[in-house]
């Protein structure tokens, strides 16, 4: 009868185990030194060798003549453990035997001495599937087991195992097997089985296995059953519902060339051919990732705007969970890609002369303190420039900053400095919303890309103060923000959640003081949510398109709440006690 490859090539000794060298070393040393624990816990992702090592260890502890910690395979105990009828090594599937009664039966039998071997070894696979009652029943046995009993608990989800169980075990974390190790093992199996396969296919199998040896051998088994001839990438993609690199390249061209019709047509075609769209979008993400790696490490030219490639990879990676859980992945993927394409379809190509002209115009606006008309093309340019220097590009080269001046400013910061703490909190300002709105208006009116770039380049100087006991939390909040637009006097910051905005508004003046102190600036902050920024930006572009201008407004004075005293002498009695007071 044919035996599956993952069973045929299951490790029989510690030396056969792939990718778990540190765990193997500990277990082999414990065998050689006769230092066994009564309970072990093996946890890690599927196919990394937990069950295989459990069986090897069970044979090794019972071996009469072990060789460097490995079972000899020749003594009577090794021969007995290799038989399926061995009653002293019990492998229990916790998924189907997860009740209290099964564990109680195990407890009743555990005191019986081994029939043939030195030790009775209980291997409980997927132990996290046990019920709470079963864990409680197992607890006492793990704490004080008989001398002849050894427990090995294996699980892929240790978070579901009670801490009381874990604390009584010697725990080992199994790592995912590296791609190179998987490839070498697959090559060995192919040589033994006389399987002809392309190296590229082996690499794809190893990548798809995600660190699991069993999955990679299972895939190789399926491919070898498909054909006796050379296994090519075309066969691999056809059998797994994927697409070829040529199709990936064509799909990428359609997306980055903004060919909406062909993108939708390709997705429909993949779906009609029975392809797995979730696997295809994952394959597409890895294809784009390879383009990035070639661009940055191998210095190969990329056919697309590298920043757009990075953006698309980020979007797909963030939405992958939602795609998998979607009721209709096809529609979700279509909308995802169309949204990405539409977000860049309105951006004209920005050449250096356009940027220089726009910067000169902004500089003139800032110096005159008034707003002049800007063409629709300039607004598109401004939008492209602004998006190109957002938080993901905070690695701006510091050109316009006097570094010596910055160092002196940094040295002047003292933990005892009380400039950051004000007597009245921002929560006491009655007209805070009006002040923020005026600041946003003035920031848009006098927006200057060069100022924004310069301010963002200063952020690297704040990293040294993230752990400062006095101002570290304020510095972290500034670094976690997105710098959206800036003028000579104001910076607009945004955060994803409204709760964070409200929290930081309470520390607005402290954040301003810390930022200005550390960077040598004199800026005021306006803090909003990302959604508010998107609305304000759309409104800004719409007004510029219609020829409307932002007028500079004077920021109102802060209006603080009046302090009230509940002193019965200074306050009216009725204002304190209300209607319950009667006057004669």
pLDDT interval class at 268 (50, 70, 90) = very high
- The pLDDT value recorded for residue 562 is 64
Residues 283, 276: Cα–Cα separation, whole Å: 10
Residue in 92, 118, 95, 89 with CA at minimum distance from that of residue 105 = 92
- The pLDDT value recorded for residue 427 is 58
HEC readout, 355-410: HHHHHHHHHHHHHHCCCCCCCHHHHHHHHHHHHHCCHHHCCCCCCCCCHHHHHHHH
Dihedrals phi, psi of 308, to nearest 5 degrees: -70, -35
Q: What is the mean pLDDT of residues 224-235?
A: 88
In the numeric block, the tokens 């409680």 are attached to 136
pLDDT digits (tens, 9 = 90+) for 564-573: 555 544 455 5
pLDDT digits (tens, 9 = 90+) for 449-480: 888 888 888 887 787 777 776 787 788 888 88
pLDDT interval class at 113 (50, 70, 90) = confident
Q: CA 158 → CA 55, 134, 173, distances in Å? A: 20, 16, 10
Position 398 pLDDT exceeds 60: no
From 183-192, 303-312, 473-482, the region with the lowest mean pLDDT? 473-482
**202 token code pair:** 């082996």
Residues 322, 325: Cα–Cα separation, whole Å: 5
Position 317 pLDDT exceeds 70: yes
- On average, the pLDDT of the chain sits at 79
Angle at 411 between CA 408 and CA 412, to 5 degrees: 90
From 229-238, 425-434, 494-503, the region with the lowest mean pLDDT? 425-434
The more confidently predicted of residues 22 and 144 is 22
> 458 and 519 in contact (C-beta within 8 Å)?
yes
pTM: 0.55
| Half-sphere exposure of residue 115: CA atoms within 13 angstroms, side-chain side | 9
pLDDT interval class at 269 (50, 70, 90) = very high
Angle at 63 between CA 62 and CA 66, to 5 degrees: 140
Position 441 pLDDT exceeds 70: yes
pLDDT interval class at 266 (50, 70, 90) = very high
Residues 150, 38: Cα–Cα separation, whole Å: 5
Give strand pairing partners of 122: 90, 151
Residue in 145, 136, 77, 86 with CA at minimum distance from that of residue 111 = 145
Residues 13, 82: Cα–Cα separation, whole Å: 12
Residues 228, 568: Cα–Cα separation, whole Å: 98
- The pLDDT value recorded for residue 356 is 44
**208 token code pair:** 């798809």
- The pLDDT value recorded for residue 330 is 92
Position 498 pLDDT exceeds 90: no
Non-local (6+) Cβ contacts of 510 within 8 A are 420, 421, 422, 474
pLDDT digits (tens, 9 = 90+) for 331-389: 999 999 999 998 887 553 333 344 344 444 444 444 443 333 333 333 333 444 344 33
**201 token code pair:** 């296919």
Residues 259, 339: Cα–Cα separation, whole Å: 13
Dihedrals phi, psi of 178, to nearest 5 degrees: -65, 160
Residues 138, 557: Cα–Cα separation, whole Å: 70
- The pLDDT value recorded for residue 423 is 42
In order of their start, the domains of the chain are 5-174 (3.40.50.300), 179-239 (1.10.8.60), 245-345 (1.20.272), 352-545 (no CATH)
**297 token code pair:** 């490490």
Residue in 88, 90, 89 with CA at minimum distance from that of residue 103 = 90
Residue in 96, 93, 103 with CA at minimum distance from that of residue 136 = 103
- The pLDDT value recorded for residue 265 is 93
- 3-class DSSP state of 125: strand
Angle at 348 between CA 343 and CA 353, to 5 degrees: 140
From 124-128, 198-202, 352-356, the region with the lowest mean pLDDT? 352-356
Describe the crossing of helices 352-368 and 376-388 by its angle, rounded to 10 degrees.
100
């Amino acid at each position: 009868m044919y035996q599956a490859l993952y069973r045929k090539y299951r490790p029989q000794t510690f030396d056969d185990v792939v990718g778990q060298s540190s765990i193997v070393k500990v277990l082999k040393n414990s065998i050689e030194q006769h230092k066994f624990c009564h309970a072990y816990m093996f946890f890690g992702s599927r196919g990394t060798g937990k069950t295989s090592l459990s069986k090897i260890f069970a044979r090794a502890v019972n071996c009469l003549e072990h060789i460097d910690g490995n079972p000899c395979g020749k003594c009577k105990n090794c021969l007995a453990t290799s038989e399926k009828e061995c009653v002293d090594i019990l492998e229990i599937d916790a998924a189907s035997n997860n009740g209290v009664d099964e564990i109680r039966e195990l407890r009743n039998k555990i005191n019986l001495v081994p029939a043939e071997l030195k030790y009775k070894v209980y291997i409980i696979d997927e132990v996290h599937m046990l019920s709470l009652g079963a864990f409680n029943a197992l607890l006492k046995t793990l704490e004080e087991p008989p001398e002849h009993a050894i427990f090995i608990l294996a699980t892929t989800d240790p978070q579901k195992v009670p801490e009381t169980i874990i604390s009584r075990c010697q725990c080992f974390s199994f790592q995912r097997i590296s791609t190179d190790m998987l490839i070498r093992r697959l090559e060995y199996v192919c040589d033994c089985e006389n399987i002809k396969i392309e190296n590229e296919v082996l690499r794809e199998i190893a990548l798809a296995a995600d660190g699991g040896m069993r999955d990679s051998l299972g895939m190789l088994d399926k491919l070898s059953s498909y054909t006796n001839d050379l296994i090519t990438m075309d066969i691999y993609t056809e059998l797994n519902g994927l697409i070829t690199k040529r199709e990936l390249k064509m799909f990428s061209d359609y997306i980055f060339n903004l060919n909406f019709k062909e993108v939708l047509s390709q997705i429909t075609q993949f779906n009609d051919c029975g392809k797995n769209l979730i696997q295809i979008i994952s394959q597409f993400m890895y294809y784009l990732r390879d383009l990035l790696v070639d661009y940055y490490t191998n210095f190969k030219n990329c056919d697309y705007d590298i920043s757009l490639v990075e953006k698309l990879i980020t979007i797909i990676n963030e939405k992958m969970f939602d795609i998998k859980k979607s009721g209709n992945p096809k529609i979700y993927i279509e909308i995802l890609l169309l949204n990405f394409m539409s977000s860049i379809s309105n951006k004209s190509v920005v050449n250096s002369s356009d940027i220089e002209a726009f910067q000169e115009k902004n500089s003139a606006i800032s110096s005159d303190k008034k707003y002049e008309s800007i063409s629709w093309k300039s607004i598109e340019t401004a939008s492209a420039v602004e998006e190109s220097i957002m938080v993901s590009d905070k690695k701006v080269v510091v050109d316009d900053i006097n570094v010596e001046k910055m160092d002196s400013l940094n040295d002047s910061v003292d933990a005892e400095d009380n400039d950051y703490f004000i007597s009245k909190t921002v929560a006491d300002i009655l007209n805070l919303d009006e002040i923020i709105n005026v600041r946003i208006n003035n920031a848009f009116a006098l927006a200057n890309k060069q100022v924004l770039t310069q301010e963002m380049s200063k952020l690297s100087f704040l990293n040294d103060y993230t752990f400062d006991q006095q101002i570290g939390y304020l510095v972290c909040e500034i670094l976690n923000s997105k710098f959206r637009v800036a003028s000579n006097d104001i910076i607009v910051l945004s955060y994803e959640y409204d709760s964070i905005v409200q929290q930081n508004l309470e520390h607005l003046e402290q954040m301003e003081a810390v930022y200005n102190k550390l960077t040598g600036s004199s800026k005021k902050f306006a803090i909003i949510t990302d959604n508010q920024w998107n609305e304000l930006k759309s409104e800004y572009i719409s007004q510029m398109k219609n020829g409307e201008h932002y007028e500079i407004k004077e920021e109102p004075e802060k209006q603080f709440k009046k302090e009230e005293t509940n002193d019965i002498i200074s306050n009216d009695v009725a204002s304190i006690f209300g209607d319950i007071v009667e006057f004669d």
